[in-house]
Structures are given as C-alpha cells and as structure tokens.
Amino acid sequence: MKKYILDLTITQLKNILKTKVSQEYVFSQILDWIYVKKVISFKDFTNISKKLKEKLDEIFILRTLKIIKKEQSKIDGTTRYIFQTSDKKYFFAVLLSSKEKNSICISSQIGCPVMCSFCSSGKVKYIRNLTKGEILEQILQIENDTKKRISRVLFMGMGEPTLNINNVTLVLNSLLSNKEFGIGKKHITLSSVGNVPVIKKLADSRFGVRIALSLHATDEKQRRKLIPNNFGFSINDILDAGKYYLKKTNSRLTIEYILVKDINDSIASAHKLARLLKHHELINSNMQVNLIPFNFINNTQFKTSKSESIQKFKNMLKLNKIIVNIRQAKGIDIKAACGQLGY
C-alpha cells in the first residue's frame, strides 16, 4: 500500500528516501514541491529526475481527501468545504477571506466527543481523529482550489484539537516549519473547551501559538448545560491554565463566550465574568474576550441573545478594562458560522 506523504514527518520521509535521494538539495526540492509549490502530482516535480519521480509515485500518494461539496456565502464570500476521507467519512473546513488575509478554520476530528449543546459538530457522532496529513491537506486542498495562500490557521472546525494532541502537535511542527508551511505562531490559534493538562503542556512547549479557551459560562451548572463533556475541570482550573499559558508563552489568549438568550447573557453573568477574569489576573493586553452571539442550529431550544443584551454585556466588560469583541457571524447563510458545522 502506498504511504500518505503528508502523514510523514520530515525525518520519516528522509529515512524512507535515504537510499534513493543522497543529495540534501534534492530532498529540499521534494519538500518544496509538496509544501511550498503544493503540486498535486509527482509528474509536476519538474526539477526532479524522471526515475525518481516514478519511484516517488510508486511509494507515496500526495492527496487522500476529496472535496465533495463547496458552498460560498452570498453575504460575505465565506466558503464551506465538505471533505471525504479515503475511508468515506465526512468533515468540514471553512475559508474566510478578506483583502488582508485568508484564514482557514480546520477540523481535527470526525464528529466531536465534547458534544456542546449549541454546536452542530457536537451532534455528529464521534468517529475518529484526523491524521496529521488529513489536517494539513485541508489547507493544501483549499489553496489548490482557490489559488489563494492561507495565512492564518484556526483549529476551530469540527472536533476538540486537544483530544487529538499527538497529531495536532505534528501539524503544529509542520505549520511552523520554514521548510513546510512557514506560518508564524501569531497566525495560528488553537481552541479548546478546557483540557487543562494539555493546555499546560502546550504552554511548556516551544510552539507559542495563540490559544482560545471556550469558557461560555460563569458558573459550573450553566457550563455543564452548554458543554456536557467538559473534561471535569472547573472554570477556576481553566482560567488558571489560561494564566499559566500567558505567563509561559507571552502569547495571546482569547476567552470565547457564546451568548445564548436567557442562559448566560445577563448583566449579572457579564459582571461575574469580569470578576473571574480579574481574580485570575487575566485582565491585560494579551487577553481578549470574544463574544459569539449564538448561531441558529437545528434541534435546539437555544435562542440568539437580543442585540441590546449583547451590547450591554460588552459594555460591562469594557467598563472593567477588558478587551472585548463581538464576533461577526461569517457564512451564516451556508451554515459555516461558529457552531454550525454539521451535516
């Protein structure tokens, strides 16, 4: 069986090719075709000998995913992709383009075991983790499809990335490596509902990417309602992990807070959130709160907060010197917005 080249690390690839590629510069050319020029066939490796191209084609495959559906928002141009894996499973990625940057929201799992009650991905039965190659190929496929260069990667698609941390770690290596994707750490954000030990491990790693913690609530009961499988860590544990992450990395931390009408959008909740952030010494220029108005999904009782409540919530945080943004829904007409990635 052919090996999926994107699943391999540079060292693994080098080992496989050691009897076939003796010169370092030829190996660098191969990497360049895969990750920089992003070609989809070994035939297109034009500066490589015919014999070596045939050998590569015999041993490896470059792509395993198929784009089976692509929809573009008429409102803002956001594009939602459905990918099919080689074992015929389905998952999503979203391209968010602006004049300045092209961001991609990628999936790390098929289905999501966390099962947040406000999220369509949480309603899809968990099947398996995506491999390193399958995570990276989302970027390459979308770049091939659009001829745009992705400059920002958000681990905010289907799945909880910290539950697939071994593959996600390999992906981070690839994204940050100048021989592969060469994307700066400030342009990579990993989100988690609060897998505390993994957040702390990431804090101790050399990656230093941005972290988004999906807090969504200010008391445990409220939080369990929104995130049933929340790893059992308390809000205090999660905010402590956030503080540790900032201290160790000097990176940027975002606290994500979905606003659901009459569940967690009261002014008292805003006040409590400000108190919690203050108590954990998280009110500083490296921390911001993203308020996400709930986006409609099927089979839920939840409703979107009134714009007046959203504004009041925001003002209360601002009053407490917290940097706060209201996240504008992107691709809402094609179910590509936050929490809408389901079948």
Binding site for ligand SF4 (CB under 6 A): 112, 114-116, 119, 121-122, 158-160, 193
63-76 core/surface letters (b: 16 or more CB in 10 A; e: else):
bbbeeeeeeebeeb
Of the candidates 112, 116, 119, 338, the residue annotated as catalytic is: 338
- Please, what is the minimum distance in Å from the beta carbon of residue 159 to ligand SF4? 6
95 vs 114, beta carbon nearer ligand SF4: 114
- Please, what is the minimum distance in Å from the beta carbon of residue 216 to ligand SF4? 9
- Please, what is the minimum distance in Å from the beta carbon of residue 197 to ligand SF4? 17
Rg (CA), the chain: 21
- Using Cβ positions, the residue closest to ligand SF4 within the complex turns out to be 122
- Asked about 112 being catalytic, the answer comes back as no
17 vs 193, beta carbon nearer ligand SF4: 193
- Please, what is the minimum distance in Å from the beta carbon of residue 191 to ligand SF4? 7
94 vs 114, beta carbon nearer ligand SF4: 114
Number of Cα atoms under 13 Å in the Cβ half of residue 224: 5
150 vs 338, beta carbon nearer ligand SF4: 338
Contacts of 118 (CB under 8 A, 6+ apart): 226, 258, 260, 294, 297, 300, 302, 339
Tokens read off for 117? 């009650």
Q: Are 2 and 60 in contact (CB under 8 A)?
A: yes
**DSSP-derived 3-state class of residue 229:** coil
Q: Are 91 and 81 in contact (CB under 8 A)?
A: no
Rounded (5°) CA angle 75-312-292: 40
The residues annotated as belonging to the active site are 338
